[in-house]
Amino acid sequence: MKRGMMGLLLISSVVTGAASAATLTIGGEEYSSGEPLCVS
């Protein structure tokens, strides 16, 4: 395999796996004291 083809395949495989759907959870369930989605 030529150098250029190898490079393209490598980059293609990495990029394909790199952009992935994600959901990040920030924080946890500690307080619900009087705080609506902020305050109504």
Partner 1 sequence: MHYQVVVLDSEMGGAMEISSLAWQRALSGSDQGHYFNVDIYMGLCAGDQLGGTFEDNWVPGTKTLVFSADALDLTAGPNEWVSVALDTPYWFNGQQNLLIDLQWASANPSYSFYTWHWDTGVVRSVKATSLGSPSGILSTQMSEMTISGVLVLDQATFGAVKAVFTGAGR
Distance in Å, CB of 11 to partner 1, minimum: 6
Q: What region does 7 belong to: left with phi over 0, alpha with psi -120 to 50, or beta?
A: alpha
Distance in Å, CB of 30 to partner 1, minimum: 4
Distance in Å, CB of 5 to partner 1, minimum: 10
CA distance 28 to 35: 14
Residue ranges in contact with partner 1 by CB under 8 A: 3, 6-7, 10-11, 14-15, 18-40
CA distance 40 to 38: 7
